Structure 1
Amino acid sequence: MRILFASLASYGHLYPLLPLAVAARDAGHDVVYATAPDFHPTLEKAGLETAAAGLTLHEAFGLLFTGDTRSRYEVPQAELNEAIGKAFGKLLPTRFMTDLAPVLAERKPDLVVYEMGNPGGAFAAHQAGIPAIGHGFGRVSSGSPMEYIREQLNALAAELGIVGESRLFWGHPFVDICPQSVQAPEFVAGARRVPLRPVGWSEPGELPSGIEGRDRSRPLVYLTLGTTGASQAHLLTSALRGLASLDVDVLVATGPSVDVEALGEVPSNVQLEAWVPQSELLPHVDLVAHHGGSGTTLGAFAAGVPQLVLPQGADQFTNAAAVVEAGAGAKLLGDELTTDAVREAAGRLLADSTVADAVRGLAAEVAGMPSPEDVVAQLPQYV
C-alpha cells in the first residue's frame, strides 16, 4: 500500500507521526512524508522518503506580520489570536494543499495520514479523491485561540465541499495518541478514534553524563520549556532556581532559543544541556517541569512521571489542565511562576503518594494502548 504522511514543519507536529510512519515502512508499505524542506533532514535520519509541501511556522507568521517589528510578547492577545486563526486556519492549509496536489498526482497514494494541525493534507486528499485519516499529537484543545482557527477552517472546508466539523475532523477516522482518560470528553463522544500508544521520538543521541546508573535515592528533576520561542531565559531562571533549592539534581534542556549566558551562574546541582534525547531520558527522572507541550506531557504519562506544568501558550494551557484533572501534577500560570512557587509545588509533587498512584495508573493505561505495528495492520481498512 502507498501511504503519504503529512504534517506541519515543527517538531511538536512532526515527531508524533514518526512512529506510525516508520512502522508502516517497516511493514513493507511504500511511505513518503510531506512537510516543509527545513525538516527533511530529520525525516531522512528516520529513514523516510520526503516530499516538499507547506511553510514553516516562522515563514507563515512572517508573512502575516511583514514589516512589524514587535516581538510576539508585544502583540495584544486579541490581535495574536486573530493571526493564529489566519495562520493555522487558512494560510498554512491553503499553501499545503496547493503544494501537495502535484505530489499526490505523481505518487498516487492509497491513503493520506494528515496531522491534526495540518488539515491542508486532508483538503488536498479530498480534492484528489484519496481516502484520508487524521493523526493527533495530544489532547484535542478547545477555547481560544482554537475558536479562531476552527472558524477559518470550517469556512475553508465549506468552500471545498467538505461536509462535517473540524473539531471532529470532518468525520474522518482519527489516530489518537492521547490516553482516553485525559482526552477531551466531548471529542471522545463523537470522534471515530483509532487509539495508538504514544511512543516518544527523539533524534538518536547519548544521554547526558551521569544519568545512566545514577543513584535513584536522590531525585532527578528534568526542566524544559520546549523548542520554540516560549523558552525565555527569565522564566527558565525562575524555574531552575526554585528546583535547585530542593535536595535534588536538576537537568535543564535549554533549547535553541535561550541565551545560556543570560542564565548567569547556576547552582552546583544544576546541569545545563542544549538538547537531550527526551524519550530516552524520561524513564530516568522523578519529576518533569515543563511548558505543557503535548510531546512532553504524553511522554511523562507514558513514563509514569509527575509533572509541574508551566504553560506559556497554544495548547499548553489545555494540557496543564488535563494533568491537574488527572491528579498527575500541578500547574503554575502567569505571575504564579515564581522561584518560591516552583520550589513549593515541586517539593510537594515529589512527596505526594496520591500523585505517584495517579501517574502509575496513566503509565499502565498508555502501555495497554495499541502499538504502532498494531495500528499499521488496521490501515488497509480505511482505504
Structure 2
Amino acid sequence: MRILFSGCPGYGHLYPMLPLARAAVRAGHEVVIATGPDLAAHLAERGFDTWGVGPTFAESWAERNAVLSGLEAVPPEQQATLDIAVLFGASAAKRAVDLVPRAEAWRPDLIIHEPGEFAAPIAARRSGARHVTHGLSLTTPAPLRAMLAPAMDDVYDPWNVPDLTAAVFAAPYLDICPPALRPDGDPAYVDSIPLRPYAGDVRTTDQLPEALATRPVAYLTLGTVFHDAPDVFRASLAGLRDLDLQVVVTVGQDGDPDRLGPQPSTVLVERYVPQALLLPHCRLVVSHGGAGTMFGAFAHGLPQLILPQGADQFLNAAAAAAAGAAIVLPPGTVTPEAVRAAARRLLDEPGFATAAQTLRAEIDAMPSADDVLATLNGAAAR
C-alpha cells in the first residue's frame, strides 16, 4: 500500500502519528509524511520520506498573531476556538494547494491525518484514497464538531468536494485517549478505533545528557509552542529546588538555557531532552499539559503538576485532575510556594500515584500501532 500521513507543521500534531507511520514502514508499505517544509526536514532526519507542503509553523504562527493581535485579552480556554479558523484553517487552505496535486499524482491508498489538518481529506477525495483521522489528545467531544465544521467548510468549498465535512466525521478515528480521561457525552467522530499513545519518538542517536544524576528526576517542560514563559519556569524552579530530586528543564529548541540564570547542581537546563528516554527516570512531571507530554507521563504511571498555558491544555489538565492523577495551577497561581506544595502532595500522597498507575494500565491495554495498522489493512481488504 501507499500510505500518506499529513499534518500541520507542529510537533504535537505530527509526533503522535509516528508510531503508526513506523509500523507501516516495518510492514513494507510506501510511506510519506506531508507537512510544512520546516517539520518535513525534521522528519526526514528521522528517516521518513517527506513532502514539504504549505507554510512553515513560523509563518502560520506569525499570521495567527497578526490576525488575532488581541488574543491575550481572550480567556485562554477560548483561544482554541479562534485558532481553529485562523491558525488551522488558513494553514490548511495554503497546504492544500501543494498537497492535492501531489497526492493526485502519487495515488495513495490511504491517507491518515490529524484533526487540525483540513487539507488531507481534499487530497483523499480527489485521489480516491480512503482517509482516517488520527487523534492527538483527548477524545474529541461532539460539541467541538460545531466549532470545527465551519472552518473545514471554508477550506473545502473552493475544491468542489461536496459533503466532505460530514464524510470526515463519519470516517474512522484513531483515539489515543485512555478511557479514564475521555470526556462525558458523545464523541464528534462516530467510528472510533482505540490506539495506544506513546511516550515519544527516539532515534538511535538520541541519548540523555551526561550530567544527568542517578537520583530520581522531576521533569519540567512547557512544550514546543508555549515555552516562552521565563517567569513560569523561574517560579517552578524555585518551588522544585528543595525537593530531593534532580530537576531536568527543557526550554525548547529555540530557547536559551542561560535565560534562567545560574542554577544549582541539582538543576539541569537543556533545550531538548528525548522525553521517551527521560521519563523512565522520573518520579514527577511538571508541564504545560500538552497531550504528548501528559500521555507520555501517564504511560509511565507518573503523577503530574500541570501549568496550562493555552490551546487544549486547560481541557487536558481538567481531565487529568478529575482522574485523580494531577494537580493543576492555572495562570496567575504559579508561585514557588504553590509549586512546592503541589509537588510535595504529588510525591507524598499515594492516591495520585495510584491514579497515574491506573492510567498506565489503561494505556498498556490499548491496541498497539501494529495492531491498528492490521485493522486498517483488514478494512481495506473487505
| Structure 1 length-normalised TM | 0.89
Distance across 2 between alignment mates of 1:161 and 1:199 = 36
Aligned to 2:11: 11
Aligned to 1:121: 120
Please give the residue correspondences for 1:293-304 in structure 2 after superposition, counting only pairs within 5 Å: 293-304=290-301
1:360 aligns with 2:357: yes
Residues 199-219 of structure 1: per-residue CA shift (max 9 Å, x gap): 23235311123548x24xxx4
Aligned to 1:342: 339
What is the number of equivalent residue pairs in this alignment? Answer: 375
| DSSP-derived class of the 1:186 partner | coil
Aligned to 1:330: 327
Residues 63-101 of structure 1: per-residue CA shift (max 9 Å, x gap): 355599x6x875655996675233245212212222111
Aligned to 2:40: 40
Distance across 2 between alignment mates of 1:337 and 1:143 = 32
Q: Which region of structure 1 is more displaced relative to structure 2, 315-324 or 257-266?
A: 257-266
Q: Which region of structure 1 is more displaced relative to structure 2, 240-249 or 292-301?
A: 240-249
Aligned to 1:177: 176
Please give the residue correspondences for 1:38-117 in structure 2 after superposition, counting only pairs within 5 Å: 38-65=38-65, 76=74, 84-117=83-116
Say if 1:232 and 1:245 are closer, same or farther in 2 by CA, change over 3 A. same
Aligned to 1:238: 235
Gaps in structure 2 of 5+ consecutive residues: none
For 2:277, which of 277, 280, 283 is the aligned residue? 280
Say if 1:307 and 1:150 are closer, same or farther in 2 by CA, change over 3 A. farther
Deviation at 1:337, TM superposition (A): 0.9
Q: Which amino acid aligns with 1:175?
A: L
Please give the residue correspondences for 1:129-208 in structure 2 after superposition, counting only pairs within 5 Å: 129-140=128-139, 149-157=148-156, 160-162=161-163, 169-188=168-187, 191-204=190-203, 205-208=206-209
1:290 aligns with 2:287: yes
Deviation at 1:352, TM superposition (A): 1.3
Say if 1:293 and 1:147 are closer, same or farther in 2 by CA, change over 3 A. farther
| DSSP-derived class of the 2:185 partner | helix
Deviation at 1:106, TM superposition (A): 1.3
1:20 aligns with 2:20: yes
Q: Which amino acid aligns with 1:363?
A: R
Distance across 1 between alignment mates of 2:79 and 2:304 = 28
| DSSP-derived class of the 2:132 partner | strand
Q: Which amino acid aligns with 2:49?
A: E
Say if 1:40 and 1:54 are closer, same or farther in 2 by CA, change over 3 A. same
Q: Which region of structure 1 is more displaced relative to structure 2, 240-249 or 298-307?
A: 240-249
Distance across 2 between alignment mates of 1:82 and 1:298 = 23
Residues 110-142 of structure 1: per-residue CA shift (max 9 Å, x gap): 110111221211232123332100001111456
Aligned to 2:371: 374
Distance across 2 between alignment mates of 1:291 and 1:139 = 15
Distance across 1 between alignment mates of 2:308 and 2:93 = 29
| DSSP-derived class of the 1:374 partner | helix
Distance across 1 between alignment mates of 2:225 and 2:145 = 19
Deviation at 1:289, TM superposition (A): 0.1
Deviation at 1:240, TM superposition (A): 1.0
Deviation at 1:350, TM superposition (A): 0.4
Q: Which amino acid aligns with 2:286?
A: A
Distance across 1 between alignment mates of 2:362 and 2:173 = 19
Aligned to 1:249: 246
Aligned to 1:262: 259
| DSSP-derived class of the 1:238 partner | helix
| Structure 2 length-normalised TM | 0.89
Mapped contact 2:18–2:201 kept (Cα < 8 A):
no
Mapped contact 1:89–1:149 kept (Cα < 8 A):
no
Distance across 2 between alignment mates of 1:143 and 1:291 = 25
Q: Which amino acid aligns with 1:152?
A: A
Distance across 1 between alignment mates of 2:52 and 2:274 = 26
Q: Which amino acid aligns with 2:108?
A: P
Distance across 1 between alignment mates of 2:218 and 2:373 = 35
Gaps in structure 1 of 5+ consecutive residues: none
Say if 1:200 and 1:115 are closer, same or farther in 2 by CA, change over 3 A. same
Deviation at 1:40, TM superposition (A): 2.2
What RMSD in Å do the two structures reach over aligned CA positions? 2.8
